[in-house]
Amino acid sequence: MSSSSAVSTVTPVIKTLKVGLAGCGTVGQSVLTMLHRQKALFHSLDYAVSLEGVYVRDALRPRDFDYPGAVLTDDPHFLEGTDILIEVMGGVDRPLELWMPHLERGGIVITANKALMAERWDAIRKYVENGQVYFEASVMAGTPIITPLATILRASTPIRLEATLNGTCNYILSQMERGQDYHTALAEAQRLGYAESDPTLDVGGGDSAHKLTLLARMFIDPEYALEKVQVRGIDTLPPGAVNEALERGEKIRLLCSIERENGEWVARVEPRALPLSHPIAQADSSHNALMFTGEECGTVIFMGNGAGGATTASAVVGDLISHMDGIPGPKQVSLVR
């Protein structure tokens, strides 16, 4: 007697996601390049990405990216037909005008825009709660922290959080430790593209305050207000402060912290001298570091690149892959801790 068996295979159905990109600066160009290079990975997840267009403020400005056939336009109407809006243009009001109609019709937003997330929380909160907004790239670029806070670390009772979250400030302070004065280090950061022509948001602590507000909403209070963050930037440092700290065996970092004082959570951004052995002090140049301490989990340290086109794009595209895997966007903490 003989027997035979046949193995049947089912050809997977490839689902197409219509994606619109808003913003094509350093990060946006890197996102385009990654979208093109990761097509095989998307296909392995049974997805294909159809880039419907790239919305920019100036479609004529030269750009450098690897995505054949990408169409740049200053007309955003094509976004109306997309499933996913990837927004990396920065700013607050103009991006929000793109977000809202997209979210209202059930679309997905993937963003690196911490300013919008921090300043327009009332407008977008319900969509975050619905899992429609992915924002891993908004705090530490390619170093994951939003997802861990929203998932595995949520089970642990929080004690404190300490971090350095601004690569521009880290670069300036690192150069000052090597002997440059503040103004020379700032000019060098601007020349290299680390700092804007108006560096106030970075050196004044505003960028770090935006990021710290998002972190506060992820693990202590879903309604934590940006205005509650106490902010002092590195532009307030007296001359000689960096060298004096080094002589004491310390380094100054723009420290972001959340901890309890007199029974209330207090969030601060301020220059602080830390021992050389402190993990936050070891974050140099454009690196960021974060320490989360919980009663049950102990101290957990995250460190990695916190700025730059490729590292930020890796988190943006990672969020896209999470969506393909059926994982909703991260949600803020559901109660005041």
Tens-place pLDDT, residues 49-80 = 999 999 999 998 999 888 999 999 999 999 99
Residues 136 and 158 in one domain: no
Query: Confidence class of residue 308 from pLDDT cuts 50, 70 and 90?
Result: confident
Residues 155 and 298 in one domain: yes
Q: Is 291 helix (H, G, I), strand (E, B) or coil?
A: strand
For residues 138 and 131, is the Cβ–Cβ distance under 8 A?
A: no
Tell me the CATH number at 56.
3.40.50.720
**Which pLDDT does position 12 carry in this prediction?**
86
Decide if 83 is inside a domain: yes
**Which pLDDT does position 153 carry in this prediction?**
96
Q: Indicate whether 2 pLDDT > 60.
A: no
Three-point CA angle 44, 46, 52, nearest 5°: 110
Q: Span 211-225, mean pLDDT?
A: 96
What DSSP state is assigned to residue 265?
E
**Which pLDDT does position 7 carry in this prediction?**
60
Decide if 331 is inside a domain: no
321 or 192, higher pLDDT: 321
Decide if 9 is inside a domain: no
Note if 39 is an active site residue.
no
Place of tokens 């160009």: 29
Residues 21 and 169 in one domain: no
Residues 301 and 159 in one domain: yes
Burial class (CB in 10 A: 0-12, 13-18, 19+), 119: middle
- Structure pTM? 0.94
Q: Span 121-147, mean pLDDT?
A: 97
CA 152 to CA 262: how far, in whole Å? Answer: 28
Q: Is 305 helix (H, G, I), strand (E, B) or coil?
A: strand
Expressed as residue numbers, the domain containing 83 is: 15-141+310-324
Tell me the CATH number at 251.
3.30.360.10
Q: What are phi and psi of 41, to 5 degrees?
A: -65, -45
Residues 320 and 260 in one domain: no
Specify the range with the lowest mean pLDDT, choosing from 30-39, 63-72, 103-112, 234-243. 63-72
Residues 157 and 92 in one domain: no
CA 196 to CA 147: how far, in whole Å? Answer: 29
Q: Indicate whether 5 pLDDT > 80.
A: no
Decide if 4 is inside a domain: no
CA 203 to CA 172: how far, in whole Å? Answer: 9
Q: Which of 18, 39, 114, 211 is catalytic?
A: 211
Domain count for the chain, please give it. Answer: 2
Residues 210 and 71 in one domain: no
Place of tokens 């880290």: 170
Residues 125 and 153 in one domain: no
For residues 141 and 111, is the Cβ–Cβ distance under 8 A?
A: no
Residues 202 and 121 in one domain: no
What pLDDT, in 10s, does the model give residues 288-301? 999 999 999 999 99
Decide if 39 is inside a domain: yes
Residues 56 and 72 in one domain: yes
Query: Confidence class of residue 1 from pLDDT cuts 50, 70 and 90?
Result: very low
Decide if 337 is inside a domain: no
**Which pLDDT does position 66 carry in this prediction?**
87
Residues 110 and 158 in one domain: no
Decide if 107 is inside a domain: yes
What DSSP state is assigned to residue 7?
-
For all residues of the chain together, what is the average pLDDT?
Answer: 94
CA 186 to CA 184: how far, in whole Å? Answer: 5
Q: Span 161-186, mean pLDDT?
A: 95
Q: From the centroid of its chain, how far is CA 318?
A: 12
Residues 151 and 299 in one domain: yes
